[in-house]
Structure 1
Amino acid sequence: MNLKQLSQLLGLSQTTVSRALNGYPEVNAETRERVLDAVRRTGYRPNRAAQRLATGRAGSIGLVMPTAHGYPSDVHFGEFLAGLGDEAVRHDFHFVINPSHPDDEEATCKRLVASGNIDALFIAYMREKDPRVALLKSLSVPFIVHGRSIGIPTDYPYLDIDNTAAFHDATKLLIQLGHRRIALLNGPAHFAFAIRRKRGMAAALAESGLTLDETCVQHSPMTDEHGFSGMKRFLDLPEWPTAILCSSTVLALGAVRALNQAGLKIGSDVSLIAHDDVLPMLKPENFSVPLTTTRSSLRSAGSRIAKRLISRILKLEILPEQELWRAELIVRASTGPAPHRAGRANERSAG
């Protein structure tokens, strides 16, 4: 199907259909949605070269994907990418994904923008005093950051969840249940979300006159194996923690495996709370003991970021430049009152 046939099908002029597809503001939202719906039904694809000449736009969003030999893949990134795709397909936008060594991301961003193949740029995995922010602000394309850096002004477009509040609330719940020795299985220490989650936990403990024992903290990639090895290390401490906070349900999967191997009952011997990114293959309610979680959908965040970028590119609507989402605390069976005494894991292994 070509543009002429599509316009005849809709009973609209070719100019109106073309303007709707190219995001011209004078085409009302109802007409644009009608055209996009017909595009989805008929499989029509505009001539990208002609579209670019007419509008000066590439119809693409750029993403830099850090990767290198030995660098762990991340299921969380895949779920976020699915959310970006949900919104991008509604507007016939493409992705340009540029793999990059983690130490070369700034240069990769520059090359991606210089190529002229993208209209906007997205980055994630924010770090303390992240140098990519200044770079993005110096480039000629719109951008959005998923997360927020630490130690630099927050004067750039972002979408983030309130990681500090999420882990503060989770820790407070555990303290209210009588837990005093609480451990943390966290993401890599250089990521801003991990720093904020640890701060939120430490603040809640301090409010009750408690301190975070660094021997009860692990920073690692958020994988099942790291959750398992971290939990085993905690159980080998002279006084093991009665409660665990996990920065991902993937880490929690490994932690639960270690607790099961030790013969400990989740929710009574040890309480566990995980952050739930709403990963479709790892639902907290389907664990052997349903997990208490702080929940915020990565897919929804991806969709929102794509909506904001595309709206800015096509001048569809004015949306907030900065958004901080509150995570939802959902209490399930994995949290319960603190046991009367710790150390039984060692006693059991010795007996």
Structure 2
Amino acid sequence: MNVNLKKLAEMLGLSQTTVSRALNGFPEVNAETRQRVLRAVRETGYRPNRAAQRLATGRAGSIGLVMPIAQGIDSDIHFGEFLAGLGEESVRHDFHFVINPSAPEDEELTFKRLAASGNVDALFLAYVRENDPRIAMLKSLSIPFVVHGRTINQPTDYPFLDIDNTGAFYEATRLLIQLGHRRIALINGQSHLTFAIRRKKGMVRALDENGLVFDETLSHNSPMTDEYGYRAMERFLGNPEPPTAVLCSSTVMALGAVRAITRAGLTIGRDISLITHDDVLPMLKPENFMVPLTTTRSSLRAAGSRIASRLISRIGVTSDTVEQELWRTELIVRASTGPAPARR
């Protein structure tokens, strides 16, 4: 059915102005009328004229993001899952993405240009660094934004959503220590990213509390791919004193680590224990590994959806006053963790 604003208004017995205001979140339209309009939109497949909508509301109906592109930067399955959640919520509110590729060194300028273009109503920032100059830049712009993550050596006086990475790896390390493990390796994300810094911090805290020392020779930082996970685990197993347990920052890295452990003729959960962080990637479920993996779990897709909801709320479509959120992770114990093997 080809329905324009005039026909939709006639079907509902409302003025075009009322229908337009209902669709664009104006507070003077009561909830019952708004729901009638939204129901009719779903049933008819009506899509508003973007140019007219922008003139009426002063809003573009778009969320902006900057995507780093450069030689040597691989595509990231984790970011793709996050975008899926962001997209699902955006579609519910008839919002679009404006994706602006940028060389890493030009990101601040790209954000400024995107904000000034008038093509987006809000911005979000990911891949947060320890001291991140992009935060101050975003705060200087007159446009809503939400950060996925937190800086470390800067005030957290900005809207964010993050998970408790320190707590997640603290609890995971404590479990391994309770099982008798003393040499625990870490396969982590890139060292300049704050989630990786906090995960190491959580592990070190648990070790310190139990009189154990973090061994830098059993630590690895890299992009989170299965190949890097494989190489790191292979190197650890070649150590004169190999670890009896390993923590991985992603199920993707764990996939490579499992491959290296299997090729070495070792059994996960008996010869070596493994815990990984599970971002709830639909194509890589930890319970489906040959030996189901113990995990700390928090959904990236849910985080993307929540950030989209908050961004949209900040430009007046819904109401949401929450500025900062720190999500706890869930520790799920499966067969990949067992008692430390007896010393040979």
Common fold by TM > 0.5: yes
The CA deviation at 1:330 is 0.4
The CA deviation at 1:69 is 1.5
Partner of 2:168: 166
Is residue 65–residue 99 contact of structure 1 (8 Å, CA) maintained in 2? yes
Is residue 36–residue 90 contact of structure 1 (8 Å, CA) maintained in 2? no
Is residue 25–residue 315 contact of structure 1 (8 Å, CA) maintained in 2? no
CA distance in 1 between partners of 2:211 and 2:49 (Å): 65
- 3-state SS of 2:315 partner: helix
CA distance in 1 between partners of 2:185 and 2:92 (Å): 43
Q: How does 1:46-65 map to 2 (within 5 A)?
A: 46-65=48-67
CA distance in 2 between partners of 1:296 and 1:152 (Å): 25
- 3-state SS of 2:155 partner: coil
Q: 1:90 to 1:264 in 2, by over 3 A?
A: same
Partner of 2:111: 109
Partner of 1:336: 338
**Selected match of 1:215 from 205, 214, 217:** 217
Partner of 1:26: 28
The CA deviation at 1:33 is 4.0
Question: Counterpart amino acid of 2:84?
Answer: A
Q: 1:33 to 1:100 in 2, by over 3 A?
A: farther
**Selected match of 1:71 from 58, 70, 73:** 73
Q: Deviations over 1:119-176 (max 9, x none)?
A: 0000100001100000000001000000001100000000000000000000000000
Q: 1:91 to 1:30 in 2, by over 3 A?
A: farther
The CA deviation at 1:311 is 1.0
CA distance in 2 between partners of 1:18 and 1:256 (Å): 55
Q: 1:188 to 1:14 in 2, by over 3 A?
A: same
CA distance in 1 between partners of 2:35 and 2:304 (Å): 21
Q: Which runs of 5+ in 1 are unaligned?
A: 343-351
Question: Counterpart amino acid of 1:259?
Answer: I
Give the TM-score taking structure 2 as reference length.
0.97
**Selected match of 2:132 from 130, 133, 139:** 130
- 3-state SS of 1:314 partner: coil
Partner of 2:275: 273
Partner of 1:42: 44
Partner of 2:266: 264
The farther-off stretch of 333-342 and 219-228 is 333-342
CA distance in 2 between partners of 1:98 and 1:29 (Å): 36
Is 1:152 aligned with 2:154?
yes
The CA deviation at 1:315 is 4.8
Is residue 228–residue 256 contact of structure 2 (8 Å, CA) maintained in 1? yes
**Selected match of 2:201 from 194, 199, 202:** 199
Q: How many residues align?
A: 342
Question: Counterpart amino acid of 1:56?
Answer: G
Q: 1:235 to 1:24 in 2, by over 3 A?
A: same
CA distance in 2 between partners of 1:183 and 1:321 (Å): 36
Is residue 189–residue 219 contact of structure 1 (8 Å, CA) maintained in 2? yes
Q: How does 1:293-332 map to 2 (within 5 A)?
A: 293-332=295-334
Is residue 268–residue 337 contact of structure 1 (8 Å, CA) maintained in 2? yes
Is 1:95 aligned with 2:70?
no
Q: Deviations over 1:192-215 (max 9, x none)?
A: 000000000000000000011000
Is residue 64–residue 98 contact of structure 1 (8 Å, CA) maintained in 2? yes
Aligned-residue CA RMSD in angstroms?
Answer: 1.2
Q: 1:99 to 1:33 in 2, by over 3 A?
A: farther
Partner of 2:182: 180
Q: How does 1:219-298 map to 2 (within 5 A)?
A: 219-298=221-300
Question: Counterpart amino acid of 2:135?
Answer: V
CA distance in 2 between partners of 1:30 and 1:101 (Å): 47
CA distance in 1 between partners of 2:181 and 2:217 (Å): 17
- 3-state SS of 2:207 partner: helix
CA distance in 1 between partners of 2:108 and 2:154 (Å): 17
Q: 1:340 to 1:7 in 2, by over 3 A?
A: same
Question: Counterpart amino acid of 1:264?
Answer: L
CA distance in 2 between partners of 1:307 and 1:28 (Å): 21
The CA deviation at 1:99 is 0.8
Question: Counterpart amino acid of 2:275?
Answer: I
Question: Counterpart amino acid of 1:237?
Answer: N
Q: 1:316 to 1:240 in 2, by over 3 A?
A: same
The CA deviation at 1:86 is 1.0
The CA deviation at 1:29 is 4.1
Question: Counterpart amino acid of 2:52?
Answer: A
- 3-state SS of 1:32 partner: helix
- 3-state SS of 1:145 partner: strand
Is residue 24–residue 317 contact of structure 2 (8 Å, CA) maintained in 1? no
- 3-state SS of 1:174 partner: helix
